Amino acid sequence: MEFLRRTRGYNLNDIMSNKSALTRINRIVQVAEGPVIMTTSGGKFSALLPHLVRRATGRDIPLIFVDTRHYTKPTYDMITYLQEQSFDVRVYASNYEQDQLQQDFPDWWNDTADGYSQATFEKVVRMIKHEPLERAIDDIQPEMWLSGLTSFKTAERANKSIIEYNAMEIVKLHPIIDWQQKDVEDYLAWHSLPRNEHHFDISKGMSQKNECGIHTTFGE
């Protein structure tokens, strides 16, 4: 991996551990020679990362939104907001409509129901969320991927590092992974950024406790 070659001899996670999110983004993105992307779910705090990255770099990095075709209006409103702020939003949509999925895999997303199948759930999530992201990665061929993951949301995310390297040779940068919820709330308030209080991600199931796998399948 070229990024590893260019940073050989440096433990970047140690170096960046006591740096601000702005500094992490600015310094690490400067090292990238290939394309850089961000991803967004259109969720509650999705206005934060693009704003932070623009402040840190002065650049409008492509912002990938994977449209499962199952989001509700507040999430699409958040994406519209990001487009209106002139972020480089690139939408990659699922090839499967809701009716088709419901017919082929009835109630696949209801992880609270009797007869729920985790295997079927994961199969559908791969179809509606992983496949569109794979198209985005194939199109852009990024060297670096910036994510707004925060460790306070799930135990799985608590184990994430600031910088990770995956088998696809993409550098994953999680500049706010160590932020607490108050840090996020304070940033949004200080910069008068909107929240999506009614985000529902079907790829996390009815319970919203499943992981969609984006940051595990594409993060390892």
Query: Is 154 a domain residue?
Result: no
Query: Is 118 a domain residue?
Result: yes
The confidence band for 220, taking pLDDT boundaries of 50, 70 and 90, is: very low
Query: Is 103 a domain residue?
Result: yes
Query: Is 203 a domain residue?
Result: yes
What does the alpha-carbon distance between residue 162 and residue 13 come to, in Å, rounded to a whole number? 6
Q: So what's the pLDDT on residue 111?
A: 92
Query: Is 141 a domain residue?
Result: no
Instruction: Tell me which residue of 53, 40, 37, 29 sits closest to 136, measured CA to CA.
Output: 37
Query: Is 2 a domain residue?
Result: no
Q: So what's the pLDDT on residue 209?
A: 83
Dump pLDDT digits (tens) for 185-213: 999 999 999 999 999 999 999 998 887 76
Query: Is 9 a domain residue?
Result: no
| Domain, as residue range, for 33 | 22-133+184-220
- Could you tell me the pTM of the whole model? 0.91
Strand 171-173 to strand 63-67: parallel, antiparallel, or no bridges (unpaired)? unpaired
Better-predicted residue by pLDDT, 124 or 6? 124
* Mean pLDDT of the region 116-127: 94
**Lowest pLDDT segment from 2-6, 89-93, 141-145, 187-191:** 2-6
Instruction: Tell me which residue of 36, 82, 40 sits closest to 201, measured CA to CA.
Output: 40
The total number of structural domains in the chain stands at 1
Q: So what's the pLDDT on residue 87?
A: 98
Q: In the predicted model, what is the mean pLDDT of the chain?
A: 90
CATH code of the domain containing 114: 3.40.50.620
Instruction: Tell me which residue of 219, 204, 203, 80 sits closest to 149, measured CA to CA.
Output: 219
Indicate if the pLDDT at residue 9 is higher than 90.
no
Query: Is 44 a domain residue?
Result: yes
The top-scoring range by mean pLDDT among 33-37, 49-53, 154-158 is 49-53
Q: So what's the pLDDT on residue 143?
A: 93
Cβ within 8 Å of residue 212, ≥6 positions away: 125, 129, 201, 203, 204
Sequence letter at residue 125: V
Dump pLDDT digits (tens) for 40-53: 999 999 999 999 99
